[in-house]
Structure 1
Amino acid sequence: MIFCSPKPLSTQEIKNCIEEDKKKKISENKINEIIEVLINKYDNEKFSFEILKLAKGYQFLTKSKYSNITKLLLKQHSEKRLSIASLETLSIIAYKQPIIKSEIEQIRGVNCDYTINKLLEKNLIEIKGKSDKLGRPLIYITSMKFMDYFGINNLNELPTIQDFSEEENMIGDESK
């Protein structure tokens, strides 16, 4: 529990979870003994994480000497997040490609310069060439990184309209 909790867990919270899961009583002293064994185990140099007592509870954290590498990883992860506008634009490109910017803007109803530039920076889309239309606008397609990001091997694996049908995707009984 300590390992997966995003906040410090008190011994009482740990006790309640164990008793509910195992259907048997456990004392807070026993929990404290077990936590102390784990604290000593992870104090070893071969582990990059530790259990700390914080805010009247225990939390599993990366050791401070590894904070720089952790920050880099978290930064890379946050760079992977996409805004709603980016997701909308990306889905239009994915389903309608090859497509030019004016067609994307016509579908979305707003200017897409910034969003397209961000998607290009993230290498999720690429420029395939120039259209023969007036002004020779750029043609956009999705990239291999797009496939990797969404865990697909080809565009045929993209969800179809039928995948989003109301009946198949209902959760629970709405009549209640």
Structure 2
Amino acid sequence: MDYPKLKSIIEGLLFMAGDEGLNKRQLADILELDADLAADLVYDLHRDLAREQRGVQVAEVAGAYRMTTNPDHAAYFERMAYTPTRSQLSQAALETLSIVAYRQPITRIDIEEIRGVKSDRAIQSLVSKDLIEEVGRAEAIGRPILYGTTKSFLDYFGLPNIKALPEPKQVDIDEALEEQTQMLFERLGERQTTIDEFIPVNGDKED
């Protein structure tokens, strides 16, 4: 059995799984291995990453394994997240944000079904900017994370509450998504604001 290859596959699987991660039973089913062996391989991968002082690590959260950033480098990650060049929202992030705003609480899988593409990076970007956050877990297999908007989202778009979002006229889901995204974009233009105006550079959030 090629253990280095299996660990490499696990690393890729955990990266693809994103924040939801995979538990040892899920890994075992995918790799067609014993669950305990899958767990041992994850532990070996964790030690490999730590020994090589990599920028990522394997963490176990609520029984699932996730790829996370190395906490020793947190200051640099925060610096990247809150620099002015990172404060603007990409089209993908804005589209993802509109889905969360109008359909919250919502899982990553549901977001991707609506967009038709993977959205891990857009979701991570929005979380790092404190525009969306984990608000619970869905009552479904694997208990996927539910996302919702934050107080910073309301500040960012100048909204008193989530009910103040402009209502789309379209009924068709694809047309509604396009309209919702455009309305958020226009709202953003009206505000003429960036995240740096209400999130200090050190990453501490205002009360």
TM-score normalized by structure 1?
0.48
TM-score normalized by structure 2?
0.41
Structure having the higher Rg: 1
Bigger helix fraction: 2
